[in-house]
Amino acid sequence: MAYGLEQIIIKGIPVENLTELKIDCLPGDHGSLKLCGYLAAENGEETLFGFSENDSISVYVGEGKPIFSGILTKVSVEGEGDTVKISAEAKSRSILMDQKKKSRSFQDVTMTYGSLFQAILSEYPGSDIKLSIPDRPLGEIAVQYKETDWEFLKRMLSMLNAVLACRPGEESIKLYGGVPDIPSGEWNYKKTGFQKEMGEYSYWLMQGASVNDNDFLIMKIETGHVPELFEQVADEGRQFVLRRLSYELERGLLHCRMEMQKKEGILAKAEYPMHLIGTALCGTVLEIAGSKIKIHLDIDHAAGGKDVYWFPFSTLSESPDGSGWYYMPEKGDNVRVYFPSKYTKDVIGVSAVSSYDGKNGGVPDRMGSPSTKYLSNPYGQEMKLAEDGITLACSGGAASVKISNGGDISLSAMGTINIAAEEDLKIEAEEAVSLQAIEAAVISCVKGGTVNMPADGNLYIQGTEVKVN
């Protein structure tokens, strides 16, 4: 039985004479509504100016069964003689999740898909999602980057080849993740057509899915009944589910046209974050271990999730055996993380971001000349590669080695300089060797020979045998 005009109730718009009504719902998209009708002339302008952002509209049939509840997206009013024509478009309440782009990370790889979805839906009062997929851990970092919550949920579900669908008749956000089991009712329908999506079948077969061609047989039917999306329908011993609902007002009667398909064929192709490829996100180092770091990403702000992911960090040069350079950033350093591919598991930390501005009150600007290279750490150790030579220094110059381009080497220390060799120590010069000391200079051998030059100006030579020529 089809519903007549007198059995259709519109709430949210004061339509007196409904001429057009169309409602459509399918997986992967919001439910949509389009209607046209007439108002009394005196109510036209008042009605139009009375609408505001996110105003609701609901459609009921029969004894109050809801078939659509959503948010108005477009309303227009036109005068036609003594009457006013009103046209409106709306989306299901799931559109509230598709209005604002967000960026954040979910670093806990042990978090399950269900926990992730509930964390996102917790921002929408009264919302819920019914999952028909294995609730397994994410297994890798998840990043929502310049995506709406709807886009992100849809993409994450697609990684499990599960569709995201809304329930268009609900007065709050109610979603399906995957195809649920909704028992069939007793109602009649008329078959209006068939088709088989062989291209889809070939695609999923190449992906290794356990499907057969009949899983992609689409049967089109028409009924006056008001079913649920994904409701089960038996036909000649075969079990189908409703994959698409479309209501349309024709000649004063509301008809429901549907598409049925086997549950096994209702799949979503994997959507990867292609927009994330090549992106570098900034963050702050929290912990360092080996060649990995924990980072608080700037996109997570102060109230972000758990910063528990260990990002591999790209050092200057690191070999599998531990040789090469090992120079990790320090706790509190600003770093970037880079996404080289469509797989978020490939993310790496690539560089530290300097906040140095050269304004240190009289201290020479280390970045004043691009030809001078520095390597230093917070503890005062420093290597300087300058135009005139190389300098190695500790504790702000308390001990240093300078090698100049002219061939000079200078060693200086506020403490002791020790030079030791297990075999021979040779000091050679083509011109002169100079030894100077403020108090005393002593040259000795463990076997007893000593040359002592104290501050009194005398020279003392001591040994078991002394030969002077």
Where in the chain are the domains?
3-95, 274-353, 373-413, 439-469
For domain 274-353, the CATH superfamily is Gp5 N-terminal domain (2.40.50.230)
**Nearest partner of 92 among 70, 73, 67, judged by Cα:** 70
* Domain spanning 3-95: CATH superfamily: Baseplate protein-like domain - beta roll fold (2.30.300.10)
The residues that bridge with 353 in the sheet, in sequence order, are: 334
Amino acid at 278: G
**156 CB contacts (<8 Å, ≥6 apart)?**
113, 116, 117, 142
In terms of Cα–Cα distance, which of 64, 62, 86 is closest to 75?
A: 86
Residue 265 main-chain phi, psi, to 5 deg: -95, -5
Taking only the tens of pLDDT, the chain with its 469 residues reads 578 999 999 998 888 889 999 999 999 999 999 999 987 666 656 666 667 777 899 999 988 899 999 999 998 888 766 778 889 999 999 999 999 999 999 999 999 999 999 999 999 999 999 999 999 999 999 999 999 999 999 999 999 999 999 999 999 999 999 999 998 877 888 999 999 999 999 999 999 999 999 999 999 999 888 899 999 998 888 899 999 999 999 989 999 999 999 999 999 999 999 999 999 999 999 999 988 999 999 999 855 568 999 999 987 665 666 667 778 888 999 999 999 999 999 999 988 766 666 666 555 676 767 788 877 777 788 888 888 889 898 877 788 899 998 888 888 888 888 888 888 888 888 888 888 888 888 888 877 788 888 888 788 888 877 777 6
157: enclosing H helix or E strand: helix 149-158
How many C-beta atoms lie closer than 10 Å to residue 349's C-beta? 24
Asked if residue 291 lies in contact with residue 318, where contact means CB atoms within 8 angstroms, the answer is yes
Q: How far apart are CA 206 and CA 202, in angstroms?
A: 6
Q: Report the run of H or E that residue 118 belongs to, with start and end.
A: helix 113-121
* Contact present, 148 and 97 (Cβ < 8 Å): yes
- Per-residue confidence (pLDDT) for residue 243, from 0 to 100: 95
Distance between CA 319 and CA 321 in Å, rounded? 5
Tokens of 250: 């024709």
Beta-carbon neighbour count of residue 422 at 10 Å? 5
**Do 264 and 295 meet the contact criterion of CB atoms below 8 Å apart?**
no
Q: Please tell me the pTM assigned to this model.
A: 0.84
**Could you tell me whether strands 292-297 and 238-250 are parallel, antiparallel, or unpaired per DSSP bridges?**
unpaired
